[in-house]
Structure 1
C-alpha cells in the first residue's frame, strides 16, 4: 500500500481537536487508527453527533427551500450570489486535487503561447479537517518527501519535518440534520482573489500583466457539484499590473475540486530507457543507508472489469473497466472532427498489445439538447480543446495524481493556426514527390491526414509518453528511399519523434503518402505495453520493477525500440526534425529536394489576386529547412553517443562519435554551407521580393560556427582525446582547427581572391575564435554549469585556439599585399590582421 508523508500528522491534529467532544468509543478508535496509513484513514462517523453549540444556526435556517441544491461529494447550495458548501465528515482527511484554469481568455492578456482558454493557473492537493472553535481547516499538502512505514522512527521524524500548511480556515455555520456534515458559507471566499481556487502564484498574474482584483467588476457565475468533483466558474476583472497592454483585464476562471482516488493506483517505477514523463519525491525507505529520489511513470489507470480478470490473465483482449475517452470541443470546425477522432482511435492498436481492446477512443461532445448536465469544464471529462489562435501549435498536457502519477484527465489544446505550419512543413519536405502538396491551400483530405497525425502525437503525450527524438536514427537512410520498405515500416518507429515527413524520398522513388507520413509504430506500441499492461500477480511496484527491467533489457535487442531523450546535448541521434542513421546522407537528399522546390516556388505559390508575401514566407520556410538539415550535421562534430543502461548491461554508456563520421560532417558543412550555396539565391524569386540571401546566409553560417565552437562541445572533444580508456581513433580539436582553417581560408591556400560572401564568412570565423580566446563575458560558462574540470579544459582550448590564430595571422599577413589578390580582398585581409593584432597584441606572436 502506498503511504503518504503528510497524512498522519493531519489525522492526529484532527483527532486531538475533536477529543474533548468525542464519545469514549471514538477515543478507542483514535488509538487504533493512529498507526493507519494516510490513504487508509476513515472518517469518524461519530464526528459531529453531539448537541449543536448555541452559536451555530439551525440547518433549516441556513439552507432554505428556495435554494438550488447540487448534490455531489460536496453538496452545493446557492441562492443569488450566495454559495454554501455542505462538507461531509466522510471526506475529512481525504485528498482533494484543486486544478485551476483559464475558462475564457482576454486577447490583451496573452503572453506568447500563454493566456488562452484551458491554460492552467494553479494545482495543489488539499484536505479538509475539523478544527477547534467550530472551524474547518483546508490544509495544503506536499508530496516531495515521504517515509512509507508508519511504525518506524524515520516515519515520525519525516512527519515532524513536513508539517503541512493550513491554507484556509472556514467558520462552521451549521450542521446538517444528522450531524454527518457541516455547512460553510463560501460566498466571500469564492469572490476573493485567493490563491487556492484561482491564480495560485503571482507568476501567472505577472505573465498576464494583471494586478489586483476589481471586486465591483468580479463575481461567481456558478458552482456545480458532481459525484467526484466540484466546478467553480468565476468572472474576474483585474487591474493592469506588470507589462500591461490594457487598462484592466476581464477573464473567466474555472476551478476544479477533484476527489483523488481513495484507493491509489499502484505506481510504476520509471525506467529511463522507456520515455515516460514522471513525478519524483525523496524516498527515505528505498535505500537502507541514504536518501534517494524515487520516480513514478505518469500514466492512466487501466484495469480489467472484475468479470474479465481471468480472461485478461489468459491473454484474451478485454475492455478496461474505465476506458480513456476524449471529447471533441463543440467549437471545433466540423470538417476536422473526424480526423481528430481518428487520431485518438489510432492508439487502440497500441493498447491491444497491452491486452486491452477499446481502451481509448474519442467522440463528439454531446449537445445541450442531448445532455444538459454535460460540461467541458467538468473535470471528469478529457477533451480536445479548439483554440482560435494565431499560434501555430498543439499541446497535450495532463493532470495526474501527485501521489502515484495516475493521470486523471487531460485537455489537448488544438490551435487553429497549427494548420499553417503543417502546410508549410509538408510543402517544403514533400512537394518534390507529392504533387498534392504543390499549392498554398491543401485539399481537405490531405490537411485532414496531417491533422490526424498531429492529433495522435499529442494524444501520446496525454498517455504519458515523452518525445522520442532518437527513434528515427534507427532507420538506415537508404531504406527511406525503398518504396516497399518505407510504406510497410514507416520512416520512423515512433510517432513521438519529431520526424515530421519523409524528406529523404526522391521523385524517382515513387513513394506514396504511406511512406511519407508518420504513424503509431513499433516503439509506441512497446512503450504502451510497458506502461499499461496490468500485472496483478506481483505484490508491489518494487517486485514489478524487477520484472519490467528484465523485459526492457531483453526487448532492446530490437534497436527500433530505442528511446532517445530530447534533452541530450551532444548525441547526434537524438535530434528533432531529423531522419535516418546518417545526417550527412539524409541532409544531402533533403537538399536535393529543396533545389527542386526552389526552382518551382514561384509557380507553386502563385496567386494572381495577391502579392508575393506568401512566396516570401514559403522561401523563408525553405531557408529554415535547409538550415535544419545543416544543423543536424553539426551535432556529429564533437558528438557523444549516450546509451542509457542499467549496471547489468555490458559496454560503455558514453562513446565519442566515430572519427570518420566527424570528418564527413566537416566535409559536408564545407560543401553545402561554407562554399557559398548559390542555389539558394534563386533569381526568379529575388527579383520579386527583397533580397535577403546574403543576410540569411551569414546568419546560418554564424549559427553553425557557434554550434561547432560551443565550449561544451570542445570540452567533450578534449575529454575524448585524453581519455586513457579510449582505444579508437578520435577526432581532436587540433585536427578540427586544421580542417576548418583549410575550409575557411581555402582561397589563400590557392592564391585566389576572396568573394563577398566568403569574406563575410571569414570575418565571422575570426571573431568567433577571438571570442573563445578572449571572451568578453562568461555567460555561456554560467549557463553550462562551470566545474573545475571545465576550467582546466578551457585552458587547453584557449591554447589551441591561440595557436590557430597565430597561424592564421601569419597566413593573412602573407597575402594581404599579394598582387594576385583584388583590392577588396587586400583590404579585407588587412582588416582581419589588424583585428587579431589589436585584440591579441599582448600574447600573440607575429
Structure 2
C-alpha cells in the first residue's frame, strides 16, 4: 500500500509539472489570483523563485510575444530567450492628457526607440541599437573597431528574478523602464517661437496602468505625472502646474530580414535614413542615404509587366477614426486613396486601403504602433500632423499615422475666405459648407499621406507654371494649380473675380506630374537588380531624363541665409510680381467687400475682426516676404554632372529691380488697410494700420539691400548691384518732391524712414549718446513686430560660400555681408543737398518736416567731423 501511495504521488507531481510547462497560446488573456490563501499547500514544500513572485498576490497575466504579469502595480516579464538580442522598436503614444496644450491623444512626440534586450550573468540589459554604420559584415577588422568605438549604450538594467518553469524564458521586473520621465520618451508636443515649456517628472504621482500582449507585440500603459512651467515671450505664464498624461508603450519586433534598401538621390524629394559607410579597402568613410519606403512587392507569384495591374503582397491600410464628423470621412478616404493613381502607373493596384476603426476586433488599438491610423483630435488647435517610423537598418517604413485636429476646419474656413472668396462666390460667407471645404481637406490629407509614403515637401511644385495658366480653366482642370501636392500650394491665390465661372480650379484635388514621377522613382520594381548599386544605375538615369523639364524638379524650402524664391510655401507660378499682384488684388477685394458679405452671419464682428487682423498681419506680410526673396535671391538646385541647371544662380537683374519697384509701390499704397466702415464697429482702436505697417516694413526692406551683395559678387556684370538698388529706392522716395509735386503722407513717412536709414547705415551717427547704433538697430515697434511674426533675422552670422548641400532643408548659400557704408553715405550727402532745396520751395507742415530731416542730417554729419 505504501508503494502505491508513493507511485500515485509521483504521478501527481509529474502531471503538475507538465501543466506548468505547457507552451502558452498567443493572445490568451487571463485575470486570476495565482495563489490564494484558501488553497492548501504541502507545508513542507519549498517554493521556487518563480512561485514566490505570485505567492498570495492578485495577478493579471497577458500571454503573447512576451508573457507579462501585472502584480501590485508592477510589471514582470517572462522574456523568451529566443528574443534576446532581437532588434525592436518601442513607441510611446499618448492615450489621454489632462491639458490639451501639453499634447494630443494619439500623438507620439518622439521617434520610437531602437532597442534590444541582452543578458549578461544574472542581469538583463536594455540597449539602444547603433545602426548608422554600413560595412561588409565579413570584415572582422571593421566589426571589432566598431565594437570598441561605437558600442551600443545601456539605457536600463534589471536583475533576473527567476527562470520560467519550462526554462525557456527569464523573469525580471522592468516597471521603471515604462514609468519614468526620460526625455527620449517625453510625451509633450514641442513648442516653438515665443513659447517655452519645461516639465519635471513626479515619480510619486505616476504609476503603471495596464498591460496587453499579442502574438507580434506587447503594450504597457502608464499614467505619468509632471509639474509644468510655461513661458511666453520670456515671461513665466504658469509655474508648477500639475499635468498627467497616459502613455502607451508598444514593443514590436523589427523584421527578421531587413528589406533591401534603395539608395537615395538628393535631386528628388524622398525622406532618408543616413549611414556612415566604412570600407576596409581604402580606409575611408562616406555618408550613404537610404530612401525611406514601404516594402512593396507583388502578391504571390505575380510579376509586374506592361499593361497589367497586380496587388501588393501587403497592402498599406489606414484606419480612420470613427469619431471624425461623418461628413469629413469621404474626403479623408479620397485623400489617402488618391495615391493609388500613381501606383497604377507603375503596375500596382489597391496599394492604399482605408477602413474605419473596427468595432468588433479586440486586438485593434489605434495607439499600437502596428496599426496605421488617421486620428481625430477634438482640439481647436489648427494642426494636421503626419509621422512614420522606419526600420533603422534599411529605411523600410513600418508604421505611419496622421493626426487631424478639429480646429483644422477653422483654418480651412478662414483660408478659403481669404484666398478664394474674391473669385469664388460660394466662399463669401462666415459659414462655409463642409462640401465647399472638402477639396481643401482632401488636399491636406493627400499631402500628409505623401509624407507617409516617404516623400518630402517639394516647395518648387508650382514654380514652373506660367501665372496666366493658373487663370485658365482648360489648364487647371487638366493639371491643377501645382505640379505636386507636396508643395504648400493649397489655394489658387491668382484667380480673379469671374475666373471660377470660366472653370478655373481653386483647390488642388489630384496628384501632380511630379508626384507620379516621385512614386515611380521610389517604388518602381527594378527587374534584375539584386543590389542597391544596380538599382541606382536605373534610377539615376530616370532622374537625368526628367530633370531637363522643370516640371519634375525638386526644390527644398529656404529658411536661413540667401533665399531661393522658388522654394517658398504658399506661393504660385513662375513670376512672383505677377502672381502676387493678383494675390494682393484679391486681399484688397475681400477687405472692401467683407462687411457686406458676412454682416448677417457675423453680428458680433468676431469673424470680421479675425480676418481683418489676418489680412494685415499675416497674409499681407507673408506675400511681402515672398517679394523680398526675389531681391538678392539665388535659385538653388542639386546639381550632378550633366544636369542642365547650375547649382545656384542669381535672380536676373531685371527681375530683382522690377520686384523692388513693385514692392515700394505696394508699401506706398496701403490705404485699403483702413476700412473705416468696418473697423469702427470693432474693438480695433489701434491707430492707422497702413502707416504702422509701412513704418515697420519699409526699413525692413531697406536692410534687404545687404542680400543684393551676394548676387552682385557672383556675377557683377549681369546682376543688380547694391548701389543701383539704393539709387532706385532713393529716386522712388524723393522723385515727387524733387519734381515739385505735393508730398503724400505715405511718401513722407517713407522719406523720414529713409533719412534715418541713411544716417544709421552710413555709421555717421556712431557717436556717444546716440540712440541708434549702426544699421543693425531696431526700434521698439520693429522688435515687437518681428517677435510676433517670427520673421527671419537679418543679423544672422553668415560666413563663407558653399555649394548647395545634398541633404537638408535650410538655404545652404552662406554670405558674409560686405560693408556698404560708403554707398549709404554718398546718398546721405545727396539727401542733404535735396533737402536744402526743398526747405526753400515748400511751406507749412511740409516745410517743417523737411527742415527737421535736414537738421538730423546736418547734426549727424557735423558730429562725424568732430
Q: Same fold (TM over 0.5)?
A: yes
Partners of 1:650 and 1:150 in 2: CA distance: 41
Alignment check: 8 A CA contact 2:99 2:243 kept: no
Aligned to 1:737: 726
Partner SS, residue 328 of structure 2:
helix
The alpha-carbon deviation at position 419 of structure 1 amounts to 1.2
Aligned to 1:706: 700
Partners of 1:364 and 1:95 in 2: CA distance: 31
Matches within 5 A, 1:321-360: 321-360=313-352
Partners of 1:164 and 1:715 in 2: CA distance: 48
Unaligned runs of 5+ in 1: 1-54
The alpha-carbon deviation at position 769 of structure 1 amounts to 4.5
Alignment check: 8 A CA contact 1:260 1:401 kept: yes
Aligned to 1:267: 261
Alignment check: 8 A CA contact 1:681 1:693 kept: no
Matches within 5 A, 1:297-336: 297-308=291-302, 311-313=303-305, 316-336=308-328
Aligned to 1:827: 848
Alignment check: 8 A CA contact 1:439 1:604 kept: yes
Question: Does 149-158 or 419-428 show the bigger shift?
Answer: 149-158
Aligned to 2:653: 659
1:803 and 2:796 aligned: no
CA offset digits 1:536-595 (Å, max 9, x no partner): 521221222222111111022332212121136422222111111111111222233333
Matches within 5 A, 1:382-461: 382-461=372-451
2:112 corresponds, among 120, 123, 131, to 123
1:493 corresponds, among 480, 483, 504, to 483
Partners of 2:287 and 2:759 in 1: CA distance: 43
2:570 corresponds, among 574, 577, 582, to 577
Matches within 5 A, 1:494-573: 494-511=484-501, 515-519=505-509, 520-535=511-526, 537-567=528-558, 569-573=562-566
2:798 corresponds, among 765, 785, 800, to 785
Matches within 5 A, 1:709-728: 709-710=703-704, 713-722=707-716
Aligned to 1:87: 79
The alpha-carbon deviation at position 457 of structure 1 amounts to 1.5
Matches within 5 A, 1:16-95: 57-62=48-53, 67-79=59-71, 81-95=73-87
Partners of 1:291 and 1:549 in 2: CA distance: 22
Structure 1 residues 555, 63: closer, same or farther in 2, change over 3 A?
Answer: farther
Structure 1 residues 628, 192: closer, same or farther in 2, change over 3 A?
Answer: closer
The alpha-carbon deviation at position 276 of structure 1 amounts to 1.5
Structure 1 residues 814, 294: closer, same or farther in 2, change over 3 A?
Answer: farther
Partner SS, residue 86 of structure 1:
strand
Alignment check: 8 A CA contact 2:673 2:690 kept: no
CA offset digits 1:130-186 (Å, max 9, x no partner): 102x11111122334443344253343233111221111111122223322212223
Partners of 1:287 and 1:834 in 2: CA distance: 74
Partners of 1:170 and 1:666 in 2: CA distance: 66
Which structure: greater helix fraction? Answer: 1
Structure 1 residues 560, 176: closer, same or farther in 2, change over 3 A?
Answer: same
CA offset digits 1:708-750 (Å, max 9, x no partner): 633762332331344xxx6xx3211111111111112233322
Alignment check: 8 A CA contact 1:674 1:744 kept: no
Structure 1 residues 593, 466: closer, same or farther in 2, change over 3 A?
Answer: same
Structure 1 residues 562, 769: closer, same or farther in 2, change over 3 A?
Answer: farther
Partner SS, residue 430 of structure 2:
coil
The alpha-carbon deviation at position 334 of structure 1 amounts to 2.1
Q: CA RMSD in A?
A: 3.3
Structure 1 residues 768, 89: closer, same or farther in 2, change over 3 A?
Answer: farther
1:226 corresponds, among 214, 237, 244, to 214
Structure 1 residues 191, 620: closer, same or farther in 2, change over 3 A?
Answer: closer
The alpha-carbon deviation at position 354 of structure 1 amounts to 3.1
Partner SS, residue 461 of structure 1:
helix
Question: Does 314-323 or 255-264 show the bigger shift?
Answer: 314-323
1:685 and 2:690 aligned: no
Structure 1 residues 510, 803: closer, same or farther in 2, change over 3 A?
Answer: same
The alpha-carbon deviation at position 340 of structure 1 amounts to 1.2
Structure 1 residues 818, 523: closer, same or farther in 2, change over 3 A?
Answer: same
Alignment check: 8 A CA contact 1:299 1:464 kept: yes
Partner SS, residue 335 of structure 1:
coil
Alignment check: 8 A CA contact 1:96 1:258 kept: yes
Alignment check: 8 A CA contact 1:753 1:820 kept: no
Partners of 2:47 and 2:131 in 1: CA distance: 36
Structure 1 residues 608, 414: closer, same or farther in 2, change over 3 A?
Answer: closer
Alignment check: 8 A CA contact 2:315 2:352 kept: yes
Partners of 1:124 and 1:359 in 2: CA distance: 28
Structure 1 residues 794, 598: closer, same or farther in 2, change over 3 A?
Answer: closer
Alignment check: 8 A CA contact 2:92 2:112 kept: yes
The alpha-carbon deviation at position 705 of structure 1 amounts to 4.8
Partner SS, residue 227 of structure 1:
coil
Alignment check: 8 A CA contact 1:399 1:407 kept: yes
2:226 corresponds, among 238, 256, 262, to 238
Structure 1 residues 404, 839: closer, same or farther in 2, change over 3 A?
Answer: farther
TM-score (norm 2): 0.82
Alignment check: 8 A CA contact 1:304 1:319 kept: yes
Alignment check: 8 A CA contact 1:150 1:156 kept: no
The alpha-carbon deviation at position 68 of structure 1 amounts to 3.7
Alignment check: 8 A CA contact 2:558 2:564 kept: no
CA offset digits 1:326-349 (Å, max 9, x no partner): 111233222212221221111111
Partners of 1:712 and 1:97 in 2: CA distance: 49
1:363 and 2:384 aligned: no
Alignment check: 8 A CA contact 2:674 2:689 kept: no
The alpha-carbon deviation at position 108 of structure 1 amounts to 7.0
Matches within 5 A, 1:163-182: 163-182=151-170
Question: Does 419-428 or 287-296 show the bigger shift?
Answer: 287-296
Aligned to 2:28: none
CA offset digits 1:571-624 (Å, max 9, x no partner): 222211111111111122223333332232101121367222311222223334
Structure 1 residues 737, 126: closer, same or farther in 2, change over 3 A?
Answer: same
Alignment check: 8 A CA contact 1:104 1:252 kept: yes
Question: Does 433-442 or 292-301 show the bigger shift?
Answer: 292-301
Unaligned runs of 5+ in 2: 1-45, 231-235, 764-772, 778-792, 803-812
Alignment check: 8 A CA contact 2:316 2:352 kept: yes
Structure 1 residues 460, 82: closer, same or farther in 2, change over 3 A?
Answer: same
1:594 and 2:587 aligned: yes
Partners of 1:299 and 1:788 in 2: CA distance: 34
Alignment check: 8 A CA contact 1:806 1:844 kept: no
Alignment check: 8 A CA contact 1:570 1:713 kept: no
1:470 and 2:493 aligned: no
Q: How many residues align?
A: 774
Alignment check: 8 A CA contact 1:698 1:761 kept: no
Structure 1 residues 376, 199: closer, same or farther in 2, change over 3 A?
Answer: closer
Matches within 5 A, 1:619-698: 619-623=612-616, 624-650=618-644, 652-671=646-665, 673-689=666-682, 690=684, 694-698=688-692
Partners of 1:526 and 1:563 in 2: CA distance: 11
Aligned to 2:243: 249
Alignment check: 8 A CA contact 1:56 1:172 kept: no
Partners of 2:280 and 2:410 in 1: CA distance: 49
Partners of 1:407 and 1:616 in 2: CA distance: 44
Alignment check: 8 A CA contact 2:484 2:512 kept: yes
Aligned to 1:102: 94
